[in-house]
Amino acid sequence: MTGQIAIIGTGPSGCYLAQALLKAQPELQVDLIDQLPVPYGLVRYGVAPDHQGSKGVIRQFARLFERQGARFFGNLTVNDQLSLDDLRAAYDVVVLAAGLSGDRRLGVPGEGLSGVFGAGRLVWAINDHPDAMALPDLGAHPVIMGNGNVAIDLLRLLAKTPSELDGSDVGASVGDWLANSGIESLEIIGRSSAEQAKFDPVMVKELAKLTGVSIEVIGAAATSDDPAAARKLAALAEINGHGSGPRRITFRFGLTPVAIKGDDRANAVHFRTETGDDQIIPCSAFVTAIGFQDQGRLDRETLLAQAEDIQVGKLAAGLYATGWFRRGPQGTIPENRGDAQALAKRILADLAPMSDKQGAALFASHPDLVTYADWQIMDAHEISAPPAGRCRHKIKTRAEMLALGKASKELL
């Protein structure tokens, strides 16, 4: 079967969708579009730099472009350089797999103070995302709000000693920033009780490998009748009391933030306990890791509200959504694979290709479009001579990315 399909977003959801479509129908033309000049979304900029094993799925995704005929069009922003409507007119099918890149807000007074950071923005900075803010000063006593895997990732990275980053792709400036952070204590706070925490137990157990910390878990129940909750509690019990290093890590639960205090910079957070008491926790910075939300460019809210079948991800004729963009910011890489596989079946069942669709000709003349061949030049550059103890040296800016792609064309 022929047919032209455009997928917006080249993170796990978009790539798994392309994979499922091409496995079932190798003749399809599948084009993956990303607003960044580089592919793979959160695998590159969200999966922690010291979790290289989890980034191994990139080998599957590379095969899409190297063997299966999918095409990459990077540095192209839909609803900026071209409209979603124009894209829909040019393709038989358009799929929104753009994820959710904005930080969900806590909604308490003081959130606008300096020293308050969304976890997503901090994760970008730590991963050398080209649109990241400068690495902030977190002071000696950062407090992290949230009990998901993102919160644990940040906790672990901020707690690591320099040698514990060996084998990662942490950049030079990030490595210096971590090494000189001056962090003495890290608190991680959950609104709900420990058994309802969202993190995976294996992520908590991993903290027992940290060499420079001492860990205390406060207010977690001993056990639970629910097996999933019991595993979380067991993981917390396992790390409680771990280590005698200088950096103190404290887990606290059941604390609802009421307000962030400070004159010009956050210096304490006012919480309410489960019994209704007040608790003030001093901080030198407050990081909120409480989920992600849409940044608005694709008008997600309206599209989802009008969706024909939101369960599978059909928004309208020829328009679909998958992954976090469809479901919201829950679930890890495997869940997005399952989501994409289910959607691929639906798309193929619906597909009625038209011969007059112009496809990628719509945007092919865009001057700074990045192709997969350009990315291969960047990728080779990044892994060719990494610094000692690193597996990759990430290119940090859009300008450098585009320059490398261009240089490769001039050589031809």
**What is the distance between the alpha carbons of residues 270 and 295, in angstroms, rounded to a whole number?**
28
Residues 6+ apart with CB under 8 A from 222: 233, 237
Is residue 381 a contact point for another protein (CB under 8 A)?
no
In the complex with another protein, the residue whose CB is nearer, 60 or 311, is 60
Give the strand pairing for 314-316 and 319-321.
Answer: antiparallel
Sole binder of another protein in the list 31, 34, 50, 103 (CB under 8 A)? 50
In the complex with another protein, the residue whose CB is nearer, 302 or 332, is 332
Span near another protein by CB under 8 A; candidates 50-58, 107-115, 255-263, 273-281 = 50-58
Span near another protein by CB under 8 A; candidates 49-57, 77-85, 102-110, 354-362 = 49-57
Nearest alpha-carbon partner for 53 in 187, 173, 206:
206
Both tokens of 297, joined, read: 């460019």
Q: How far is the CB of 383 from another protein (least distance, A)?
A: 12
- Burial bucket for residue 364 (CB in 10 Å: 0-12, 13-18, 19+): exposed
Residue holding tokens 């997969």? 372
Residues in 174-213 that interact with another protein by CB under 8 A: 200-202, 205-206, 208
Q: How far is the CB of 12 from another protein (least distance, A)?
A: 9
Q: How far is the CB of 135 from another protein (least distance, A)?
A: 24
Query: Partners of 102 in the beta sheet?
Result: 293
Q: How far is the CB of 300 from another protein (least distance, A)?
A: 26
**Containing H/E element for 203?**
helix 201-205
Is residue 242 a contact point for another protein (CB under 8 A)?
no
Q: In what order do the strands lie in the sheet with 142-145?
A: 116-118, 285-288, 142-145, 185-189, 247-252, 213-218
Q: How far is the CB of 47 from another protein (least distance, A)?
A: 11
Sole binder of another protein in the list 27, 53, 225, 411 (CB under 8 A)? 53
Sole binder of another protein in the list 27, 59, 264, 276 (CB under 8 A)? 59
Span near another protein by CB under 8 A; candidates 117-125, 211-219, 262-270, 332-340 = 332-340
In the complex with another protein, the residue whose CB is nearer, 60 or 83, is 60
Nearest alpha-carbon partner for 177 in 123, 143, 136:
136
Residue 230 CB coordination number (10 Å): 16
In the complex with another protein, the residue whose CB is nearer, 86 or 164, is 164
Sole binder of another protein in the list 334, 386, 387, 389 (CB under 8 A)? 334
Q: How far is the CB of 208 from another protein (least distance, A)?
A: 8
E-strand ranges in 180-322 read: 185-189, 213-218, 247-252, 256-261, 268-272, 278-282, 285-288, 292-293, 314-316, 319-321
Residues in 336-365 that interact with another protein by CB under 8 A: 337-338
**What is the distance between the alpha carbons of residues 392 and 376, in angstroms, rounded to a whole number?**
14
Is residue 51 a contact point for another protein (CB under 8 A)?
yes
CA distances from 250 to 53, 213, 345 (A): 28, 10, 46
Q: Which residues bind another protein (CB under 8 A)?
A: 16, 19, 50-54, 56-57, 59-60, 63, 167, 200-202, 205-206, 208, 231, 235, 333-334, 337-338
